[in-house]
């Protein structure tokens, strides 16, 4: 921040100083030129043509420096005759201050307006010259009137302006840099307090930043507290899952250990049954762990229609004699990872095909007015009694044990949907007469 401030302050001060220097220098030069032009016009006003054809002043000039040799202020009048003009002397007429050295003018042109330029004719005295061409009454000669002044005062004022601007802008730049540094230090002080609060939280074992902080950093503190709460929730979920899995595996392992110790003749059947139970628990907790991990990786997005079509293509190969219909909003999208959406829809559609009577109907965004995207999966089977609809979501719960399965499908669907902020409800299909599964998932923003 301070480096950027220094660059911009430098650019603005250099640019502003250059423009101000040019403006003031032009003003000084313009004022200097105006004085020279005034003296030039004063000469022209009092000039007349004498009997011998030369220019003379009908009254003395009011500037005494014209009479003092090498005074630094000079005038000169020179003429250029016309072709039909009688020959007479048109030599340059200088002021007494020039003594015996005439000015070298640019007389190869005719200027009706004042013409300003610099001259280095005198080695140690740079000049500023203004000249103007005039044809006086009763004369056909083009007279060139010129006034020259030493640039010493002009150059001194210009140098003085340069010096004042340089030191003033240098002091201004240092002051602005000091203010920028002070502003940065003071403005970032809340972040130092946040860092101190985080260090204190880490050393004292607190899980929140509770110190009152300025309004500018409150959003940051809120996000940090939200992140801490999220991390704490994930850690608690991980501990809960690990405890649930350990508890779920403890009983089968105990049964197997006791049977092996007692040399039970039905050990093979026990091993098969209990390992299937352990497999169900492991698959269930792995599905939850995958969903939680993907949810924490960032904002999720998935289009529902391509996912449903992909699931239907896979399930159709297994249940070739089942009729599958898909309808609804093809542009619907939800805030869930595509893998988890495929797993949810796969479980629901496969269950509908497995336990239905041969027809499965899926409707995407079935309730377009709701805040969440609602997906209906219906079948024409016998359905599930209302009193059993809550128990069916338990791990390993199965109403029809005559068909293969682990009893984890709806449990996984419910857990994964809830992880993403969704829900699953069961009802009765009005069109097909079987089970209606109502899946609600958050819409993608």
pLDDT at 395 exceeding the cut of 70:
no
What is the pTM (predicted TM-score) of this model? 0.45
Residue by residue, DSSP assigns 298-337 as S---EEHHHHHHHHHHHHHHH-TTSEEEEEE-TT-EESS-
Inter-axis angle of helices 338-355 and 267-296, to 10 degrees? 140
DSSP conformation class of 443:
B
Residue 182 burial (10 A CB sphere; 0-12, 13-18, 19+) = exposed
d(C-alpha 97, C-alpha 71), whole Å: 6
pLDDT digits (tens, 9 = 90+) for 59-103: 888 889 988 888 899 999 888 754 444 333 355 688 888 888 888
Nearest partner of 308 among 321, 327, 287, judged by Cα = 327
Question: In the block, which residue shows the tokens 């420096």?
Answer: 65
Q: Which helix (H) or strand (E) holds 428?
A: strand 423-428
Nearest partner of 130 among 34, 238, 265, judged by Cα = 34
Which residues are CB-neighbours of 226 under 8 A, at least 6 positions away?
none
pLDDT digits (tens, 9 = 90+) for 120-157: 888 889 999 999 988 888 777 888 899 999 999 899 99
**Neighbouring-strand partners of residue 307:** none
- With pLDDT > 70 as the criterion, what percentage of the chain qualifies? 86
CA distances from residue 162 to 10, 338, 398 in whole angstroms, order as listed: 17, 70, 94
pLDDT digits (tens, 9 = 90+) for 208-232: 777 777 777 888 888 888 888 878 8
Low-confidence winner among 197-206, 349-358, 387-396 (lowest mean pLDDT) = 387-396
d(C-alpha 89, C-alpha 54), whole Å: 8
The number of angstroms, rounded, from the C-alpha of 194 to the middle of its chain's C-alpha atoms is 24
Low-confidence winner among 79-83, 198-202, 259-263, 275-279 (lowest mean pLDDT) = 79-83
- Whole-number pLDDT of residue 397: 43
Contact of 252 with 274, CB cutoff 8 Å:
yes
pLDDT digits (tens, 9 = 90+) for 342-363: 888 988 998 899 888 889 999 9
Nearest partner of 286 among 412, 377, 181, 174, judged by Cα = 412
d(C-alpha 194, C-alpha 221), whole Å: 8
Q: Categorise residue 421: left if φ over 0, alpha if ψ from -120 to 50, beta otherwise.
A: left
Q: Categorise residue 392: left if φ over 0, alpha if ψ from -120 to 50, beta otherwise.
A: alpha
DSSP conformation class of 382:
-
* Band of residue 53 on the pLDDT scale cut at 50, 70, 90: confident
Backbone torsions φ then ψ of 132, nearest 5 degrees: -155, 140
Q: Please, how many CA atoms are within 13 Å of residue 74, restricted to the half-sphere of its CB?
A: 31
The Cβ of residue 428 has, within 10 Å, a number of other Cβ atoms equal to: 14
* Band of residue 398 on the pLDDT scale cut at 50, 70, 90: very low
Contact of 415 with 406, CB cutoff 8 Å:
no
């Amino acid at each position: 921040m301070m480096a950027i401030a220094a660059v911009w302050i430098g650019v603005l001060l250099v640019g502003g100083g250059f423009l101000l220097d040019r403006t003031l220098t032009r003003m000084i030069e313009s004022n200097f030129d105006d004085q020279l032009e005034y003296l030039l016009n004063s000469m022209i006003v009092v000039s007349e043509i004498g009997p011998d054809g030369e220019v003379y002043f009908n009254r003395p000039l009011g500037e005494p420096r014209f009479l003092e040799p090498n005074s630094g202020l000079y005038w000169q009048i020179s003429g250029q005759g016309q072709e039909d003009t009688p020959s007479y002397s048109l030599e340059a007429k200088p002021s007494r201050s020039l003594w015996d050295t005439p000015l070298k003018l640019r007389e190869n042109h005719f200027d009706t307006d004042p013409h300003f330029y610099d001259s280095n004719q005198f080695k140690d005295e740079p000049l500023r010259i203004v000249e103007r061409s005039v044809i006086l009454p009763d004369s056909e000669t083009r007279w060139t009137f010129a006034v020259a002044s030493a640039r010493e005062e002009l150059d001194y004022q210009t140098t003085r302006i340069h010096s004042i601007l340089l030191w003033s802008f240098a002091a201004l730049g240092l002051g602005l840099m000091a203010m920028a540094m002070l502003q940065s230090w003071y403005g970032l002080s809340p972040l130092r307090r946040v860092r101190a609060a985080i260090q204190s939280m880490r050393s004292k074992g607190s899980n929140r930043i509770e110190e009152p902080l300025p309004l500018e950093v409150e959003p940051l503190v809120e996000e940090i507290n939200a992140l801490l709460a999220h991390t704490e929730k994930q850690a608690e979920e991980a501990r809960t899952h690990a405890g649930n899995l350990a508890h779920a595996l403890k009983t089968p392992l105990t049964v197997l250990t006791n049977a092996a110790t007692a040399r039970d003749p039905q050990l093979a059947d026990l091993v098969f049954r209990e390992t299937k139970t352990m497999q169900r628990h492991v698959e269930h907790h792995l599905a939850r762990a995958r969903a939680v991990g993907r949810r924490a990786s960032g904002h999720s997005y998935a289009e529902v229609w391509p996912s449903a079509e992909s699931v239907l293509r896979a399930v159709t190969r297994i249940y070739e004699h089942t009729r599958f219909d898909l309808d609804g909003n093809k542009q619907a999208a939800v805030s869930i990872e595509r893998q988890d959406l495929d797993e949810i829809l796969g479980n629901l559609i496969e269950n509908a095909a497995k336990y239905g009577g041969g027809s499965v109907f899926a409707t995407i965004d079935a309730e377009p007015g709701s805040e969440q995207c609602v997906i209906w999966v219906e079948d024409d089977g016998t359905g599930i009694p209302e009193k059993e609809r809550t128990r069916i979501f338990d791990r390993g719960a199965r109403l029809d044990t005559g068909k293969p399965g682990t009893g984890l499908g709806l449990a996984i669907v419910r857990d994964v949907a809830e992880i993403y902020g969704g829900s699953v409800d069961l009802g009765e299909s009005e069109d097909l007469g079987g089970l209606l599964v109502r899946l609600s998932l958050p819409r993608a923003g």
